[in-house]
Amino acid sequence: MSDYRAWELDPLVLFADNHLLAVNKPAGLLSQDSGTGLGNLEDWAREWVRVEKGKPGAVFLNAVHRIDRAVSGIVLFARTSKALARLNEDIRTRRCLKRYHALVEGSPEQAGAELVDWLSHDHHMAQVCRPSDPGAQRAVLRYQVIRQVRGLALLAIDLETGRYHQIRAQLAARGMPIAGDGKYGAVRNDEAGSIALHHRRLEVVHPTLKETVCIEAPYPSVSPWWSLLD
């Protein structure tokens, strides 16, 4: 890939230094190579580093976390092996904050709550299950209703655990599917396949400076969901 600008769909670099790169992923773009030959954010980010930072040859770049193709928002990459190891450990020990915004169908019964479930997944879908079920993993999140907008509720969601499709499955199990998420029972859908889930804020400890880095991602500029907030 010779020119990263030629396929810059709308990703926006939110933070960059010698150790970290944070990018605002558009919905519909894969976070990483899936083996299908489709464009993905990691390849775009690696090319951005090569061009913008003048890095000849192979570029070290690894995703610290990923978000689903249908989801938009922050994806953080480590630019050094030391940064990757330290950030992976911080995520494992929950020394970070991951906040999402979601527009959901239905009416939340409470203005805010902590949701604790056990999840299993199969056939590219997660479901709430019993703790004793094979593959069950504990899933915890907290949500707060920000406001109501055009028949949807805007939630701020803090993840304590990072399970497969966790937010989508836990909210849907309580009658609050994310708008656009037909897989989990949403009525309102987008032909392009995006869902109204956005990784809005990330707080991590910088791997070398040991200072908290706060990263915020604006909503996608073109979206059937986030334009409802205008």
Spell out where 79-172 has E strands. Answer: 97-104, 112-122, 125-129, 137-149, 152-159
| Fold topology of 4-220 | Pseudouridine synthase (3.30.2350)
Taking only the tens place, the pLDDT of each residue in 14-73 is 999 999 999 999 999 999 887 777 789 999 999 889 888 888 778 999 999 999 999 999
d(CA 170, CA 108): 13
Other C-beta atoms closer than 10 Å to the C-beta of 151 total: 12
pLDDT of residue 11: 62
Report mean pLDDT in 10-residue bins for the chain, 230 residues: 41 90 93 80 90 84 93 96 95 92 94 97 93 96 96 96 96 97 94 92 95 94 89
Cα-based angle 126, 129, 134 (whole degrees, multiple of 5): 90
pTM above 0.95, yes or no: no
Q: Secondary structure of the chain: what % helix, strand, coil (to 5)?
A: 20, 35, 45
Extents of the domains making up the chain: 4-220
The catalytic residue positions are 68
